[in-house]
Structure 1
Amino acid sequence: MIEELIRRRRSVFPDQYNDQPVDRATLFRILEAANWAPTHKRTEPWRFKVIAGEKREQLGAFLRDTYLEKDPAPKQFKAKKLYNNPQKAAAVIAICLQRDPEERVPEWEEVASVAMAVQNMWLVCTELGIGSYWSSPGLIRYMDGFFDLAAGERCLGFFYLGYFDAEHAPPEGTREPLSEKVVWM
């Protein structure tokens, strides 16, 4: 049931991934689910850049080097994590927003559409037993130095994914009661 899948969806971080690759057909299936997200006026603002293989090391080096250059007080542990995380993942999907050139809808609606596309990816990953995590480091504003971004396109973060062993499975989630969040009128 979809409700169970929604409740099981959790962040699984790169440190938890094993070395099992995620094949291209599976990545395509995950991205195809994203492509069916709701979109106002059919702007379909989501764009994805799949980073796999050796390109993961290049992404890590770019993130580390940009962090060390831009942060006035960089921390070595953070630089190391920025470098290592892409390499621990089977793949990293850059989550991008392509703004409607005509701006027919407010930008927040397009951001929401991209977020729904990511939720679709997350749910498919959960169904397939693939761990995933959306990271939005401040460095995303510099990604035009790594990717060729189109006019009106910007990076909103990275979707890390990889298989994980049972001992690294995320704990069950909890939520505050819905009654504390709903007002019936």
Structure 2
Amino acid sequence: MKIDATKVELVNSLIRNRRSVYQQHYTGERVDDEIVTQMLENARWAPTHKLTEPWQFVVFTGEGLRKLGEAQATVYKKVTEADGTFKEERYQNLLTKTTLSSHIIAVGMKRDDKKSVPEVEEIGAVFCAVENMYLTAAAYGIGCYLSTGGITYFEAAKELFGLGDDDKLLGFLHIGIPKAAIPDSKRKPIEDKSVWVRG
């Protein structure tokens, strides 16, 4: 088997240098839409059982970020006032923090009722698609991170992103230009997390 050492090194480097870069570390500059489009294009090549392609993405940028913040804050207030868990600080964060990102992608999993694929496999496919976006961002030197906070797990939020009762909102991928070099990260040795069975 012939191995292309250049491709191997490139893939290894991208994977090992991928980082979550949070909003407070963005410059405020706008990421080119073409880069975000390439992230989405690469997302669609993620593995997907029976080719259901369960991912659904809604991209917010420009004035759309403010609208997203208002929509999230409205849903949060309605749900939490009803159950007595409303917090003003969280409401204000949802209302305003969206504008710190260049783009935000709402990440959804849309069920395909015609194919009998277990839900967990569909969720796994979407997260593989998100990893493809992470790696693409790393290749371009762009920062991003997947947030599962805010209204992610509120049933009432699904409608905002074209999701039905059987679908899932899985989070929000924030995108921005990092202020500084992306820092190193540590991981436990793979020997701590793997077992080989031979023979």
**Distance in 2 (alpha carbons) for counterparts of 1:111 and 1:146:** 19
- Verify: 1:3 aligned to 2:15, yes or no: no
Residue 115 of structure 1: aligned partner: 127
Matches within 5 A, 1:12-161: 12-71=21-80, 72-137=84-149, 139-140=151-152, 141=154, 142-149=156-163, 152-161=166-175
Equivalenced residues, count? 183
Shift of 1:64: 2.0
- Summarize deviations over 1:16-53 as a string: whole Å, max 9, x none: 11121122211111100101001111111111111111
AA matched with 1:93: I
Structure 2 unpaired stretches of 5+: 1-9
Distance change in 2, residues 1:80/1:170 (3 Å): farther
Q: Is the 8 A contact 1:101 1:152 kept in 2?
A: no
TM-score, length of structure 2 as denominator length: 0.84
- Summarize deviations over 1:134-178 as a string: whole Å, max 9, x none: 011251232234233357433211101011211xx4421111111
Greater Cα radius of gyration, structure 1 or 2 = 2
Q: Is the 8 A contact 2:18 2:138 kept in 1?
A: yes
Structure 1 unpaired stretches of 5+: none
**Distance in 1 (alpha carbons) for counterparts of 2:162 and 2:195:** 46
Moved over 6 A (4+): none
Residue 5 of structure 2: aligned partner: none
Q: Is the 8 A contact 1:15 1:85 kept in 2?
A: no
CA RMSD of aligned residues (A): 1.7
**Distance in 2 (alpha carbons) for counterparts of 1:56 and 1:128:** 22
TM-score, length of structure 1 as denominator length: 0.90
Distance change in 2, residues 1:81/1:170 (3 Å): farther
Residue 179 of structure 1: aligned partner: 191
Q: Is the 8 A contact 1:18 1:165 kept in 2?
A: yes
**Distance in 1 (alpha carbons) for counterparts of 2:108 and 2:35:** 20
Identity %: 37
- Summarize deviations over 1:109-135 as a string: whole Å, max 9, x none: 110000000000000001111110101
**Distance in 2 (alpha carbons) for counterparts of 1:15 and 1:85:** 10
AA matched with 1:49: V
